Structure 1
Amino acid sequence: MQVQKTLQDLSYRINAQPQGIAGLHAVYHFVLSGEEGGTYEVVFADNQADYTMGVTREAGCTLELSDKDFIKLVEGRLNPTVALVMGKLKISGEMGLSFKLQTILHHYQLQK
């Protein structure tokens, strides 16, 4: 349940102050391995963020990593560039969206 809690907290922060995603229309899929593995979809549209378990739309960018590394990424405790080089993170789709995601996560950092 920690992945869903992390996504819920992140969505709440973004929706409370949406200026960090203004004008963004993008769909991300997070394909996670581990105890809380599965595919999580995050949609940014109309200055709001929404997430769901499973796939409802085609993603512009897909990230594959473990559930634990996903939480570290959202909390700012995992450098995406280092994770990519070390093979902890795989990215497919539009690379520009992956860079935009990094900016969004930094803007709405969840510190634990």
Structure 2
Amino acid sequence: MTAKEFLETVPPKVNPEENKDLNTALHFDLEDEQYTITVKEGVAELSEGLVGESEVTLKASPDNFVKIASGEMNPMTAMMFGKLKVSNPGAMMKYAKLLGFM
């Protein structure tokens, strides 16, 4: 699985009925690959590039991101060793389960 393939699975997991008041953007800065997941009124969409202002930005290599997303690498351990950088860890914790990262 690639980082893009994983991120493409995220928007369908967001239930618009349960998240109708959710409006946010998450940036994924994966070296040469950059993506944005935007959620507006509970509807999630993936875009290429860093679109708009984000509430959270995740930075990692594509390989490390895939390991984290697949559960092969613990996100907290990745952060401690500098393999994952999160601009707003508190907000990311709020979205991690919603987006399928936990």
Establish whether TM, by shorter chain, passes 0.5. yes
Determine if the alignment matches structure 1 residue 75 to structure 2 residue 73. no
TM alignment of 1:16-31, pairs within 5 A: 17-18=15-16, 21-31=19-29
TM-score w.r.t. length of structure 2: 0.80
Q: Segments of 4+ in structure 1 off by > 6 A?
A: none
Give how far 1:72 is off. Answer: 2.3
CA RMSD of aligned residues (A): 2.4
Q: Of the candidates 46, 50, 55, which is equivalent to residue 55 of structure 1?
A: 50
Kept in 1, the 8 Å contact 2:56–2:86? The answer is yes
Partner SS, residue 22 of structure 2: coil
Q: 1:99 aligns with which of 81, 93, 98?
A: 93
Which amino acid in the other structure matches residue 24 of structure 1? L
> What do residues 19-76 of structure 1 show as CA deviations (whole Å, max 9, x unaligned)?
664532211111102xxx3221111221111111112201111110011122222223
Give TM-score scaled by structure 1 length: 0.74
Larger helix share, 1 or 2: 1
C-alpha distance in 2 between matches for 1:58 and 1:2: 25
In structure 2, distance between residues paired with 1:20 and 1:3: 26
Residue pair 1:21, 1:104 contacting (<8 A) in 2 also: no
Partner Cα distance (1:85, 1:72) in 2? 15
Q: Greater CA deviation, 19-28 or 80-89?
A: 19-28
**Stretches of structure 2 lacking an aligned partner (at least 5 in a row):** none
The equivalent residue for 1:11 is 11
Identity in percent:
27
